[in-house]
Chains A and B, each alone.
Chain A
């Protein structure tokens, strides 16, 4: 079951859902609108390697604005701390934002019960798009789970600001000779 907006507002009041800050005007029939923070991370040029910490540049909006370059990945973050110890979260772009010609997640819309923090979202524009600090960019939905709940204790818990992939922490492997990775066309 998906929570209605009224159920989300009630759960925020009772503490079952954290949305901080919470603005009643951002409640939708089945979701809550979250807003865009001013800072981003973009990966440095080169081939990303899931077995290593990949280097990023931090980018800040200028005068509260940024123009996304097309087909470049920007890791952004929600200004709100969001999560729940009782309901499973998923998030989506607001329809108005998707219609601008951009993704805000790349097929990773499902969160974990127990994660509470600022969400890192993946902005990917299909042409240059100008965005503004604090604009309502996406929406969080909450779902009633079935079964015993084990709370999230993962590597992104309590996230603040845009977080680069920590996938390299998943695998404790011998350092590999990346020179031998197969390149396209080989």
Chain B
């Protein structure tokens, strides 16, 4: 079952859900609206090797904004730290974001139970668009679990900023 906004609020107060910092004005009927963090990274390599090491360049989005280009790929992050030890979560763009042609994830919406992090966002845009720090960009929803919960202990546990793919850890 999907949690309503009121239930999300309740569970934040009970510390069963972490949203930090939390602003009840950003509660939606069945989600919570989150903001874009300040750091963005891009890959330096022309070819990204799935299992190889990689080089990145980090950009801090200035207050007056940063123009995203349609032929690039960006990793950003949520301003908020979000997650739960009791519920699974998923993130989606807000309509207001996707109606500007902005993807904020590339087919990976799931947040595992126990992952309480600043989420890394995969950002792709359909046309030039300006990103501002702390703009409302997406929404997170929470799902009840069925079955025994074993918390997330993956490689992105505790992320507090944008993190590039760490898949090279699985190279044979």
Chain A contacts to B: CB under 8 angstroms:
1-8, 10, 28-31, 67, 92-106, 109, 126-132, 135-136, 139, 141, 144
Contact = CB atoms under 8 A, between A and B. Distances in A.
A98 B164 CA distance: 10
Interface in B141-172: 143-152, 154-156, 163-167, 170
A97 B51 CA distance: 10
Contacts of A135: 50-51, 167, 170
Contacts of B78: none
A139 B165 CA distance: 16
Contacts of A104: 107
A141 B110 contact: yes
Given A2-B145, A99-B75, A28 B154 contact: yes
Nearest to A125: B48
Given A31-B110, A92-B107, A101-B106, A126 B150 contact: no
B18 interface: no
B39 to A, nearest CB: 14
A101 B48 contact: yes
Interface stretch (B6-14, B24-32, B112-120): B112-120
Contacts of A95: 108, 110, 120, 156
Contacts of A92: 107-110
B49 interface: yes
Given A3-B147, A29-B152, A99-B122, A127 B43 contact: yes
Contacts of B88: 2, 29-30
B82 to A, nearest CB: 14
